[in-house]
Structure 1
Amino acid sequence: MDCEICRFKDNHQLLETKYWSINLSEDQYYLGRCFVTLKRHCGDLADLNEKEQKDFFKIVKKLEAAIRKAFGADLFNWGCLMNNSFEKKPWNPYVHWHVRPRYAKSVRFEGEIFEDKEFGSHYKRKTGKRVTKKAMNGIINRIKLNLS
């Protein structure tokens, strides 16, 4: 089955496990923002099997540690909302997580300034910070370096 989620889960890949694909988002308003997507189509967190759950929590630890080390993130907002999957029929929910690293201080990297103006509050949902190809590749490489 092809869907919106399937189309982006191979872009800007940071890590792949047996059950999950981790990809950097095109939107880097929150430096290191990424998606953690289940490889199989599954529409509900309650339907994850035990192996998928255990693997997910290993990813949480590994990914947060890597982004903290790479850029100094102070906290992380994880969201698995899937609301857009129910905007129109046929519904097609797909378990995936949005990961937004949060920063108390601005970060300079590859000629870009990343500033979390909402730090200490709910993340800003509609953002759209695009960075240069050089910066995108640099972010990917820095996170990958710290994942190993």
Structure 2
Amino acid sequence: MSIECPYCEKLDEYNFGDPLVETEHWIVFLAPNQSNLGTCVVALKREQRTLTGLSREEWDDFISLLESMEGAVKTAFDATLFNWGCLMNTFYLDGTPEPQLHWHFIPRYNHEVDFAGHIFDDPHFGHMHPRPLKDISPEVRDKIATRIREFL
């Protein structure tokens, strides 16, 4: 990865794999939990702790990326809608908060999706409920990433 910031190094530690896409200001990884098919982490490629510190160029780049991501996942898996969250709550759990600006991109489905030998469902469609980890192999993760990249 071509980024130099502590959060981005942490992303490497999570072993997300290769980025799905990288823009001038943002980098997108497939999230470890695929209970909602196509869930991603979208991280700013510089140290920044708040949304108010984003430049106009970073916002414009984010909007373009948002459009690309939603279009790709809609086409790839027929997602019904998309939740975007910029929460950063867990940074405060260890007593030494160092939040790094990132977004959670969570596709939502009003139907089941059969992909790569797995059924992905969204039993809480229309509500925000924590989802258990969807146990999939690295090969299936790669297939999800490849499918999304086809439409980016």
Where does structure 1 lack aligned partners over 5 or more consecutive residues? none
- Matched residue, 1:8: 11
> Which runs of 4 or more aligned residues in structure 1 lie more than 4 Å from their structure 2 counterparts after TM superposition?
none
Conservation of the 8 A alpha-carbon contact between 1:66 and 1:146 = yes
TM-score, scaled to structure 2: 0.89
- Matched residue, 1:54: 60
Match 1:138 to one of 132, 143, 148: 143
CA RMSD of aligned residues (A): 1.5
Following superposition, the deviation at residue 126 of structure 1 comes to: 4.5
Following superposition, the deviation at residue 84 of structure 1 comes to: 1.2
| Matched-pair identity in % | 36
Cα distance in 2 for partners of 1:60, 1:71 equals 16
- Matched residue, 1:82: 88
Following superposition, the deviation at residue 65 of structure 1 comes to: 0.3
1:20-31 pair list within 5 angstroms: 20-31=26-37
Cα distance in 2 for partners of 1:114, 1:50 equals 37
Following superposition, the deviation at residue 134 of structure 1 comes to: 2.3
Conservation of the 8 A alpha-carbon contact between 1:26 and 1:130 = no
Following superposition, the deviation at residue 132 of structure 1 comes to: 1.8
Where does structure 2 lack aligned partners over 5 or more consecutive residues? none
1:35-74 pair list within 5 angstroms: 35-74=41-80
Counterpart residue identity of residue 6, structure 1: E
Cα distance in 2 for partners of 1:2, 1:46 equals 20
Following superposition, the deviation at residue 20 of structure 1 comes to: 0.4
Equivalenced residues, count: 145
